[in-house]
Amino acid sequence: MKKLLTLLLLCSIGLTSLFSKSAEVQLVTTIDETPLAYELDYNGNLINDKVKDFEINIEKPLTEDGVTKYFSVKATSNLKNDKAVDIDITPDFFKTKLNGSKSFNYTSTVKPVEVTDFNIKSYILTAGKHVDELVYKFHLKWEGNADLPAGEYVSNVVINYTIK
């Protein structure tokens, strides 16, 4: 009797599978990649792209060692591929105008140098969702020179940054 019940059970399972149907479906949707946005700021103040008149007033005279607050580059996007971050910082020597000159006619020996919180010049912004992701942070410093003549000194610093 037990064998008969087992045989009937196996037959009913076999017949059920002969008459059953199945299907597999895929649900497909997309998330569009948002345009990559990135910006440079100094101590929390946004520096607009291609700006040439962003002045940073340094409290100490150039006769003393100096340092700026931090610059940072932040990015926002939902990338589907990694992107390279390239930063190039080119400071110039401090210059001044002597003898009533209207243009800079004296170049000092003092030049700012970049001090970075990253040990690399190229950083990778990884694929994924990023909101104000810090991709680079640095400040500038210099050694003062007590032998400089009086005057208002200016150092132009070119900061090129790109994410590609």
Q: What is the pLDDT of residues 129-150, one digit of tens each?
A: 999 988 889 999 999 999 999 9
Which H helix or E strand runs over 116?
A: strand 113-116
Q: Who wins on pLDDT, 124 or 144?
A: 144
Is residue 18 situated within a structural domain?
Answer: no
Is residue 22 situated within a structural domain?
Answer: no
Is residue 121 situated within a structural domain?
Answer: yes
Looking at the structure of the chain, the number of domains it has is 1
Domain of 85, CATH number, reads 2.60.40
Is residue 26 situated within a structural domain?
Answer: no
Domain containing 132 equals: 34-163
User: Where do we find the tokens 């997309």?
Assistant: 30
* Cα–Cα distance for residue pair 63/148, rounded to 1 Å: 7
Is residue 7 situated within a structural domain?
Answer: no
* Cα–Cα distance for residue pair 135/151, rounded to 1 Å: 37
Is residue 8 situated within a structural domain?
Answer: no
